[in-house]
Structure 1
């Protein structure tokens, strides 16, 4: 089934992952902010979240809108309710998860903005809608996985980080073969304009 991320007005700013059962809304992109930040709103399913990782080029600023979010930064856990905030600096292991029985909504700002992360998120969610990922939500093809890791500026934490040089090699080869261009063309069409009331938000 083809991806449906761009089938309705403004739909391209909200993407849905049927495996993780969460959504991401692009409120402000790196391009729209002149590179200053990327601003996303996340609708996280009960029990959802990610594993420990770092980002090489940007900090993540979390702020909860609704529900409860646990953000681990280094060895410290922050349990956040509405209005609660936490920051994961660059190159600091972190993760977020919901321990609530209800959905959690939060905003995360990437500072500075990161167009590669935005593109990787759109491709990853689009591939999930197209059934091109496994039960864990990871691309079935290794070259696709390598590209998403590389373009997003994400480094797995722990033992998985040992695979990073290999993934970067695979990603470079996939780029030369045009794989990244194909994924970008399929899953990253031009976005609808940002809503006026969030266009300048950070």
Structure 2
């Protein structure tokens, strides 16, 4: 991916956030990605987990609210917390002002590509408005594969089996390549 020619900042009106890529996977040699997130009041993401990387959160401005492994945390500027592989987590802003925080994803994997595709699909109106989930099941499968993101409450074997099969079909149909061409180059 040629991060140099892409915008460093992307926005998602449904999650109510703006993400700036401070250090990309390409720039770190794949060791990590480092992003700055600006999260509007009421914004955030649902409970999820990853198996292949850790997310480290650091509050910069305002109060960052996290749920990590069932515990609700409130981080103030300078404070940090991590979600290790397999640990369910989410971030959210219940306050009345925007907040800012850094997230380090290590190792980097394909997280930037997943974010660029997800945010691009939102921008292009190709998702369900309430959930932000792509209308096209094959696009969703590509996002699951690249983001290595799983939902709490649904057996992992079922998620891997279902989305793994759909991802193979999506690859065969050229969906992944189309998404990468559209949003990552």
TM norm structure 1: 0.84
Shift of 1:99: 1.4
**Residues 123 and 27 of structure 1: is their aligned pair in 2 closer, same or farther, counting only changes over 3 Å?**
same
Between Structure 1 and Structure 2, how many residues are aligned? 181
1:31 aligned to 10, 26, 32, which one? 26
Out of 113, 122, 144, the residue aligned to residue 128 of structure 1 is 122
Contact 1:68 1:99 in 2 (8 A): no
Q: CA RMSD in A?
A: 1.8
- In structure 2, the partner of 1:170 is 166
Cα deviation per residue 1:165-196 (whole Å; 9 max; x = unaligned)? 1111101110121110001001112xxxxxxx
SS at match of 1:134: coil
Q: Point out 4+ residue stretches in structure 1 off by more than 3 angstroms.
A: 160-164
SS of the residue 1:24 aligns to: strand
* 2:64 is equivalent to residue 69 of structure 1: yes
**Residue number among 20, 23, 35 corresponding to 2:15 in the alignment:** 20
Partners of 1:10 and 1:176 lie apart in 2 by 28
CA contact (8 A) 2:150 2:159 kept: no
Does the aligned pair in 1 maintain the 2:15–2:45 contact within 8 Å?
A: no
Q: Deviations over 1:17-64 (max 9, x none)?
A: 122231111111111101211001111111111111111111000001
Segments of structure 1 that go 5 or more residues without pairing to the other structure are 1-5, 190-202
Ranked by relative contact order (alpha carbons within 8 Å, sequence separation 6 or more), the top structure is: 1
- Normalised TM-score (structure 2): 0.91
Alpha carbons of structure 1 residues 84 and 156: separation in structure 2 relative to 1, 3 Å? same
Q: How is 1:3-152 mapped onto 2 (pairs within 5 angstroms)? A: 12-114=7-109, 116-135=110-129, 136-152=131-147
Q: Is the Cα–Cα contact under 8 Å of residues 55 and 103 in structure 2 kept in the other structure?
A: yes
Answer yes or no: is the 8 Å Cα contact 1:69–1:99 preserved in 2.
Answer: no
Query: What is the rounded CA distance, in whole Å, between the counterparts of 1:142 and 1:154 in structure 2?
Result: 15
Distance 1:180-1:11 versus aligned 2 partners, 3 A rule: closer
Structure 2: which 5+ residue stretches go unaligned?
Answer: none
